Amino acid sequence: MSARDDNTMTEGSGNVFADLGFPDAEELLAKARLASAISDIIKGRHLTQQAAAEALGTTQPKVSNLINGKLEGFSLERLARFLNCLDRDVEIVVKRRPRSRTRSRIVVSLT
């Protein structure tokens, strides 16, 4: 039976980067979620990439990379600062890992 004929599905973990085996999967997902929020705000405000760059204190090519998911060179801290520039608060909550989970994690929750 070929892969096309196989109708089995594997449920994902909720983190595509982990499912693909990236060692820094949680950080990558956190960055992707923050970048998505920034992109949504830029689009919602109908900002050009140049206007967004000016608001964020960066360059238009960097805004283009961010909007297109090319997040190399963007730290979590930098993305958080961008959100602050767009009038968003960013809260970081540190809490004890439940005993039921074997690994600690990084989670971004958007409200």
Q: In 10 A of CB 11, how many CB atoms?
A: 6
Mean per-residue pLDDT of the chain: 90
In this structure, what DSSP letter does residue 58 have?
S
What is the spatial distance between Cα 54 and Cα 48, in angstroms, rounded to a whole number? 10
pLDDT band at 87 (very low <50, low <70, confident <90, very high): very high
Domains of the chain as residue ranges with CATH:
18-85 (1.10.260.40)
Beta strands in 10-99 (DSSP E): none
Q: What is the pLDDT of residue 22?
A: 86
- pTM, two decimal places: 0.81
Q: What is the pLDDT of residue 4?
A: 57
pLDDT band at 12 (very low <50, low <70, confident <90, very high): confident
